[in-house]
Amino acid sequence: QVQLQESGPGLVKPSETLSLTCTVSGGSIRSYYWSWIRQSPGKGLEYIGYVYYSGSTSYNPSLKSRVTLSVDASKNQFSLKLSSVTAADTAVYYCARERGIKAFDIWGHGTMVTVSS
Amino acid sequence: QSVLTQPPSVSGAPGQRVSISCTGSSSNIGAGYDVHWYQQLPGTAPKLLIYANTNRPSGVPDRFSGSKSGTSASLAITGLQAEDEADYYCQSYDSSLSGSVFGGGTKLTVL
């Protein structure tokens, strides 16, 4: 079955850019929406946005100015870049498959990213 | 402050029934957008529990059920088991934000 795996640095310095990649295995990245969701320590879930396999995107307005999502269908991967990070961006970042009904039916295990100098 | 409002915590004894509410507004649940529910066991990723208001993915026990009315939705769990102790989140789409929104989460404690 389809599985997702996040990868990227676990530590990012303030003001730098956080970069994560999600690899899709067991299925094709085509014909689905692929999303990023984060969870600050001890807090709830925050939607970051999605990228469609064709490359179209949608972002959370509160993060839009700093977020870029992209997809590489040839590698069955999609990526997140979050610029000008601060300590408030410290969180577990999850990648997930978003269905047309806007439900997230498959999730990665999550990767913890800490913003600290 | 989450767009969707959930009680911070609920509790129940084994075998009992509990319900978790999710209150939205006219730009999300009240606009007719579907509500989905997730279960997050400690230290793990969220898992889709109920989709499109009332539907259970394959493998989810029928002890879990969802409903929706007006600007609110509810998740009911019957025959509570110790393994149900987790955080539960509701999620919907918000037209004013043009994106998905989550509730703040509800911690279920099985007494």
Task: Return the structure tokens found at A5.
Answer: 């795996």
3-state secondary structure chain B: CCCEECCCEEEECCCCCEEEEEECCCCCHHHCCCCEEEEECCCCCCEEEEECCCECCCCCCCCEEEEEECCEEEEEECCCCHHHCEEEEEEEEECCCCEEEEECCEEEEEC
Instruction: Please answer yes or no on whether A45 and B92 come within 8 Å at the CB atom.
Output: no
Which residues of chain A lie closer than 8 angstroms to B38, CB-CB?
A: 45, 104
User: In sequence order, which residues have a C-beta less than 8 Å from that of residue B38 and are 6 or more positions away?
Assistant: A45, A104, B46, B47, B48, B49, B88, B89, B90, B91
> Which residue, B32, B20, B14, B107, is CA-closest to B70?
B32
Most distant CA atoms of chain B, gap in Å: 41
Which residues of chain B lie closer than 8 angstroms to A109, CB-CB?
A: 44-45
pLDDT at A49: 96
Write out pLDDT tens, residues B51-90. Answer: 999 999 999 999 999 999 999 999 999 999 999 999 999 9
pLDDT at A56: 94
Q: How many CB atoms lie within 10 A of CB B75?
A: 26
Position B92 confidence tier, pLDDT thresholds 50, 70, 90: very high
pLDDT at A31: 84
Write out pLDDT tens, residues B2-42. Answer: 999 999 999 999 999 999 999 999 999 999 999 999 999 99
CA distance A46 to B101: 7
Position A100 confidence tier, pLDDT thresholds 50, 70, 90: confident
**Residue B46 in contact with partner chain A when CB distance is under 8 A:** yes
> Which residue, A53, A56, A98, is CA-closest to A78?
A53
pLDDT at B50: 98
- Alpha helices, DSSP H only, in A1-117? none
Q: Give yes or no for residue B1 having a pLDDT over 90.
A: no
The SS3 of residue A20 is: strand
pLDDT at A84: 98
pLDDT at A102: 87
Instruction: Please answer yes or no on whether A109 and B45 come within 8 Å at the CB atom.
Output: yes
Write out pLDDT tens, residues A48-86. Answer: 999 999 999 999 999 999 999 999 999 999 999 999 999
